Amino acid sequence: MTLLGEYRHSVDAKNRLFIPAKFREEFGESFYVTRKMGEECLAVYSEEEWKKLAEKLNTLPDSQVGMLKRFVFSKTAQVTPDTHGRILIPSALLQYASIDKNVVIAGVGDHLQIWNEAMWDTNESELDLDEIASLFRQLGL
């Protein structure tokens, strides 16, 4: 599964967010929303990708990754779209990503990211294309 594309939607007054049909089809009946490490956005994983991530974390001892496990697992929500394709996002997750209304849902390969629209636009405008080109070259792409 390779998730692609950028979609703009808004969170309603009940903290529900419409997930585009192509992503719902890829994810199936339920999926996982959590805080994205290192970025002020949310990450959305399919059941399959979530299991891979959880298994990796659970094989490591708490003495090494206890803080990481708390960061990831304590605020993760398993969600199921309603008949209108909306998921309910817990308030704590919306607060973490500074999401109040308008969002960008971006496919980033193996998961989705949900961003505050203004923050997404700022990050996009500040992309360093020379650095990106250098990374492509380093990776042999």
**pLDDT-wise least confident of 21-30, 32-41, 108-117, 126-135:** 126-135
By C-alpha distance, which of 81, 77, 105 is closest to 93?
Answer: 77
pLDDT at 35 over 80: yes
- 3 state SS for the chain: CCECCEEEEEECCCCEEECCHHHHHHHCCCEEEEECCCCCCEEEEEHHHHHHHHHHHHHCCHHHHHHHHHHHHCCCEEECCCCCCEEECCHHHHHHCCCCCEEEEEECECCEEEEEHHHHHHHHHCCCHHHHHHHHHHCCC
Cα→Cα distances 129→65, 80, 105, 132, Å: 34, 37, 22, 5
Token reading at 63: 């003495």
Residue 97 — φ and ψ, nearest 5°?
-95, 10
Q: 139: pLDDT confidence band, cut at 50, 70 and 90?
A: confident
What's the whole-model pTM score? 0.89
Residue in this structure with the two tokens 């998921």, named with its chain if needed: 87
The pLDDT tens digits for 61-107 are: 888 888 889 989 999 999 999 999 999 999 999 999 999 999 999 99
The domain locations on the chain are: 6-116
The CATH superfamily holding the domain 6-116 is Transcriptional regulator MraZ domain (3.40.1550.20)
C-alpha separations of 84 from 32, 96, 129 in Å: 18, 25, 38
